[in-house]
Amino acid sequence: MLSQVLKTIRKYRLFEPGDRVVLAVSGGPDSIALLYALKELNARLCLSFCVAHLDHNLRKNSARDRAFVEKAAGAEGLTFYCRTLDRKLIKETGHKEEALRRFRYDFLFSVAKKFRADKIVLAHHRDDQVETVLMRLLRGSGLYGMNAILPKRIIKGHVVVRPFLEVARADILGFLKKRRIGYVIDETNSEDRFLRNKIRNNLLPLLEKNYNPNIRETLSYFASSSGADYEFLSGLVEAFLKKNLKEKNRVLSLSLPSLAALDIALRRLVLRGVISRLKGDMRMITFKHAQEFEDLLFARPYFSEVHLPGRIVILKTKISVDFYISEKALI
Amino acid sequence: MLSQVLKTIRKYRLFEPGDRVVLAVSGGPDSIALLYALKELNARLCLSFCVAHLDHNLRKNSARDRAFVEKAAGAEGLTFYCRTLDRKLIKETGHKEEALRRFRYDFLFSVAKKFRADKIVLAHHRDDQVETVLMRLLRGSGLYGMNAILPKRIIKGHVVVRPFLEVARADILGFLKKRRIGYVIDETNSEDRFLRNKIRNNLLPLLEKNYNPNIRETLSYFASSSGADYEFLSGLVEAFLKKNLKEKNRVLSLSLPSLAALDIALRRLVLRGVISRLKGDMRMITFKHAQEFEDLLFARPYFSEVHLPGRIVILKTKISVDFYISEKALI
């Protein structure tokens, strides 16, 4: 396993010697293996670590997990950062999965700041990737969903890296077993859990047996290749938005001709970009909405509107397309 | 079904009034339905038809199928074009599936020329699309494979359109049943047949039952969205190749700096573009070869070579990357 981790680190240039890094450790097998693998490789990598643990506070034994990780970090002489989530706060913050995700990242970013870290390291591995790709494909997603998990990504100015992304789950478990390293049971708080488990336990073994014995590798390649395609298109779209998107009184506007001149592939991503700026996520926005948007631009009269989930209104005028959150439902 | 066909025709502007079109009719349910559906819609479409039938000559009853289609065309007063394949020729032409595909298109193009046709119409429907996407995904493919079947495409200067692409197979069979229209059994000569049937009869019903009741629609949207993304990227790559690719003595060359400056997503498609120019297809070329290509460009010394299936050699010099078919195996 370690050689594959090194290969991934080199291929995507995940670390520079001397980097200060935050390891996100839940205490489950993946993140515990991450801790010990990087420690073993550190003679070559020359990193300074700290360990960050978010106590989700959603299960009875979350304090036990916290103590476990704190002890492991202490035994390795690593600084340990921890935060316990406020259950009430999560309940108040709307969509639970989105809220947890945001809290997790906020916590990691705050640790990165305290530790003056160059990078945040997450333990996602190849099977996470493959399961995520299948999950998105089954639920409905375009290219942007296939771009499941990237080895290196900048989120709000923080570099997030995933050195396990080309390692199979089985190899991680083998590594832990061989070195007799213990871990706690990883119960990620995820609404995806049910579907993910079904994919992991039923669908993937079935595909492996009846369709392609290398399906995990195949889908992992697919994710990697689509990820690069999506990143490229996103770059073009971000440049377009930076140049063309105007904001005034909470209304985001694009000129109608500039939108109409775009290739449809880019226009679909522009729509996503504007919506995520307005409402912070893309939940409930589907391919059908993108089709409606096309219809609005090219087939409906001026001053037509399209209404999307999240109270989003898109208004076509003679010169512009305006996006805003409807006041009506806000009152 | 007819209203969906009209919708697809309008959305993708598949026909103009007065278009002369070639219908490719095998005699199976899909192409027979295509013939009768377009006939019914023709009060609005105002097309001039002819029927083209390729007798693959690979099964005993292929003459029966031919007679069936000829009779149907005659009953509708349509010009009927037919060609019977030479079995020997196919055997001599290497990879059977590729050869058949080429013969099919050559035949359709020659009919289009004789009929002075504006468009060639194929009967691929939504389930073909969905099965193809799954097949490519299971076998391994990047975005270019998800771009399974397009509603409109230009192949060697001929416009090929697919008005059934958003129609479900069940609706086609319903249309035929309601109008008591007969057809022959469609046995496409395809090496994909076995895998396609497994996907159709086992995998898709399972996904529908256990994962997503709308999986066909979901995957069809995915194909459509990825298709547009791929078309856009392909356009950029073709422009790049037109500007940068040099040919001399059967060696195709690109300058090393121009390749290195490309985004990885485009570079992968450039590799595909050059290889398909050299060997006519992309069989046996996988994601691993694209990775080797990256490695050659960025990590290996000058005058290193990469050898790909089909005797393709890629040579990196100080200023260029040269692609050619190795002479050695040709002697």
Residue A323's identity, in one-letter code, is: F
- The gap from C-alpha B329 to its chain's centroid, in whole angstroms, comes to 30
CB pair distance less than 8 Å for A287 and B263: no
Q: Looking at residue B149, what is its pLDDT?
A: 84
Residue of chain A whose Cα is closest to the Cα of B203: A207
Query: Measured between beta carbons, which residues in chain B are less than 8 angstroms from residue A4?
Result: none
CB atoms within 10 A of CB B271: 25
> B221: helix, coil or strand?
helix
Number of CB pairs < 8 Å for A and B? 107
The mean predicted confidence, pLDDT, of chain B is 89
> What are the structure tokens assigned to B13, written together?
């502007």
Q: pLDDT confidence of B105, banded at 50, 70, 90?
A: very high
Q: Pick from A138, A210, A228: which is nearest to B212 by CB?
A: A138
Q: Is residue B229 part of a domain?
A: no
Shared domain for A199 and A79, answered yes or no, is yes
Q: pLDDT confidence of A190, banded at 50, 70, 90?
A: low
Find the Cα–Cα–Cα–Cα dihedral B114, B119, B120, B124, rounded to 10°: -170
Query: In sequence order, which residues have a C-beta less than 8 Å from that of residue A331 and are 6 or more positions away?
Result: none
Q: How far is the C-alpha of B53 from the C-alpha of B67, rounded, in Å?
A: 10
Shared domain for B85 and B183, answered yes or no, is yes
Segment A126-141 mean pLDDT: 88
Cross-sheet strand order for the sheet of B20-24: B79-84, B48-55, B20-24, B119-121, B158-161, B152-155
Q: Is residue A157 part of a domain?
A: yes
Shared domain for A141 and A263, answered yes or no, is no
Give the containing element (helix H, strand E) for B2: helix B2-11
Shortest CA gap A228–chain B (Å): 5
Query: In sequence order, which residues have a C-beta less than 8 Å from that of residue B133 and are 6 or more positions away?
Result: B146, B148, B219, B222, B223
- Pair A120, A161: CB distance under 8 Å: yes
Q: Does B268 touch chain A (CB under 8 A)?
A: yes
Distances (CA, A) of B101 to A5, A157, B190: 43, 50, 9
Could you identify the residue written with the tokens 């190795």? B326
Residue of chain B whose Cα is closest to the Cα of A223: B142
Pairing of the two strands B320-325 and B312-316: antiparallel
Q: Is residue A11 part of a domain?
A: yes
Q: How far is the C-alpha of B122 from the C-alpha of B25, rounded, in Å?
A: 8
Shortest CA gap B113–chain A (Å): 31
Shared domain for B24 and B79, answered yes or no, is yes
Query: Measured between beta carbons, which residues in chain A are less than 8 angstroms from residue B235?
Result: 263
pLDDT reading at A114 higher than 60: yes
Q: For residue A250, give the CATH number of its domain.
A: 3.30.465.60
Q: Does B324 touch chain A (CB under 8 A)?
A: no
Segment A269-276 mean pLDDT: 92
Shared domain for B121 and B78, answered yes or no, is yes
Query: Measured between beta carbons, which residues in chain A are less than 8 angstroms from residue B219?
Result: 137
CB atoms within 10 A of CB A122: 23
Segment B60-85 mean pLDDT: 90
Q: How far is the C-alpha of B165 from the C-alpha of B5, rounded, in Å?
A: 8
Q: How many CA atoms lie within 13 A of B103 on its CB side?
A: 25
Q: Which domain holds residue A185?
A: 2-219
Q: Looking at residue B187, what is its pLDDT?
A: 61
Percent of chain A with pLDDT over 70: 94
- Pair A50, A111: CB distance under 8 Å: yes
Q: pLDDT confidence of A188, banded at 50, 70, 90?
A: low
- The gap from C-alpha A266 to its chain's centroid, in whole angstroms, comes to 21
Q: How far is the C-alpha of A171 from the C-alpha of A148, rounded, in Å?
A: 21
Shared domain for A267 and A125, answered yes or no, is no
Q: Does A99 touch chain B (CB under 8 A)?
A: no
Residue of chain B whose Cα is closest to the Cα of A199: B211
Q: What is the pLDDT of residues B3-48, one digit of tens each?
A: 999 999 998 899 999 999 999 999 999 999 999 999 999 999 999 9
Residue of chain A whose Cα is closest to the Cα of B146: A143
Q: Looking at residue B330, what is its pLDDT?
A: 46
pLDDT reading at B148 higher than 90: no
**Short-list A261, A285, A260, CA closest to A273:** A285
Shared domain for B261 and B166, answered yes or no, is no
Residues making up chain A, counted from first to last: 331
Q: Does A212 touch chain B (CB under 8 A)?
A: yes
Q: What is the pLDDT of residues A193-233, one digit of tens each?
A: 788 889 999 999 999 999 999 999 889 888 888 888 888 99
Q: Does A263 touch chain B (CB under 8 A)?
A: yes
Q: Is residue B196 part of a domain?
A: yes
More reliable by pLDDT, A101 or B270: B270
In DSSP terms, B320 is beta-bridged to: B255
Q: pLDDT confidence of A147, banded at 50, 70, 90?
A: low
- The gap from C-alpha B106 to its chain's centroid, in whole angstroms, comes to 13
CB atoms within 10 A of CB B208: 13
CB pair distance less than 8 Å for B143 and A225: yes
Give the containing element (helix H, strand E) for B322: strand B320-325
Q: Is residue B285 part of a domain?
A: yes
- Pair B318, B256: CB distance under 8 Å: yes
Look up the ipTM and state it. Answer: 0.82
**Chain B interface, best mutation among A222, A288, A292, by max B CB count within 10 A:** A222
Q: How far is the C-alpha of B72 from the C-alpha of B80, rounded, in Å?
A: 10
Q: pLDDT confidence of B190, banded at 50, 70, 90?
A: low
Q: What is the pLDDT of residues A87-100, one digit of tens each?
A: 777 777 666 777 78
Shared domain for B291 and B211, answered yes or no, is no
Q: What is the pLDDT of residues A26-74, one digit of tens each?
A: 999 999 999 999 999 999 999 999 999 998 877 777 888 999 999 999 9
> What are the structure tokens assigned to A64, written together?
């036990």
CB pair distance less than 8 Å for A228 and B138: no
Shared domain for A54 and A113, answered yes or no, is yes
> What are the structure tokens assigned to A202, written together?
């039923």
Shared domain for A153 and A294, answered yes or no, is no
Percent of chain A with pLDDT over 90: 64
Shared domain for A290 and A197, answered yes or no, is no
CB pair distance less than 8 Å for A224 and B287: yes
Q: What is the pLDDT of residues A152-179, one digit of tens each?
A: 988 889 999 999 999 999 999 999 999 9
Q: How many CA atoms lie within 13 A of B315 on its CB side?
A: 13
Q: For residue B84, give the CATH number of its domain.
A: 3.40.50.620
Q: Looking at residue A317, what is its pLDDT?
A: 95
Q: Looking at residue A70, what is its pLDDT?
A: 94
**Chain B interface, best mutation among A133, A134, A139, A225, by max B CB count within 10 A:** A225
Shared domain for A176 and A278, answered yes or no, is no
Q: Pick from A140, A141, A225: which is nearest to B287 by CB?
A: A225
Q: How far is the C-alpha of B270 from the C-alpha of B260, rounded, in Å?
A: 12
Q: Looking at residue B73, what is its pLDDT?
A: 94
Count the domains in chain A: 2
Q: Looking at residue B93, what is its pLDDT?
A: 67
Residue of chain B whose Cα is closest to the Cα of A143: B226
Query: Measured between beta carbons, which residues in chain B are less than 8 angstroms from residue A229?
Result: 142-143, 229, 233, 265
Find the Cα–Cα–Cα–Cα dihedral B297, B302, B307, B313, rounded to 10°: 100
pLDDT reading at A10 higher than 70: yes
Q: Could you say which of B219, B237, B262 is where a domain stops?
A: B219
Q: Looking at residue B216, what is its pLDDT?
A: 92
